[in-house]
Structure 1
Amino acid sequence: MIFRIDNKAMKYYKRNWDELRGDEFDFWGTSTWYFECDEDDYVLRQMEIYANGNVLKYDESYQEDKYGGLAEGPLDSEEFAEFEITKDEFERVWAE
């Protein structure tokens, strides 16, 4: 489902990762990632929710911290197509 903001097509994804981070924060557990992407599949907002309850949020105004950061390149729309969600679902989780 594609939404338009300022005449730009927006896409939203939710993807579960069953792998650990691979760093000193492995104890956080597995994670679920949410992405808001523009029409060129560049990530505008990103949220990571970990099994232990930690939540990381990144956007243009807060691009990185010591735990990670906003994706730098575009997502592969073919790879992520099966993980597409609605804008409403993304916004509900973002607001929590």
Structure 2
Amino acid sequence: MEFLFSTLLPQLSNVFSFILIVLLMVGTYISWKKSFKEGIFFFLLIFIHEIFMHLSKNFLFYYELPTLVHFISKFILLLSFIILVIGMIRWNNEDGSKVET
């Protein structure tokens, strides 16, 4: 059991972090090929979020200023999803269907 927690789980965490970064780059590329600007911004902001969280844990910002790190992290995520939703609404309206308000 000790082998699982001391050796295997940290390695799996590194593998999953690498897979996430690869998926974010693939998503950015696909959005770029489809000319979906908001999708590009979404994936780039999520990528920036991952880099920020990695740097904040490595340089002890997370332990010294946890509230600020948490606020910046949530703000980046909220901003990225707002951009994605706005982009999807615009992309849906380009089909010719207009949303009546």
Length-normalised TM-score, structure 2: 0.23
Structure holding more strand per residue: 1
Q: TM-score with structure 1 length normalisation?
A: 0.24
Q: Which has the larger radius of gyration?
A: 2
Question: As a proportion of its length, which structure holds more helix?
Answer: 2
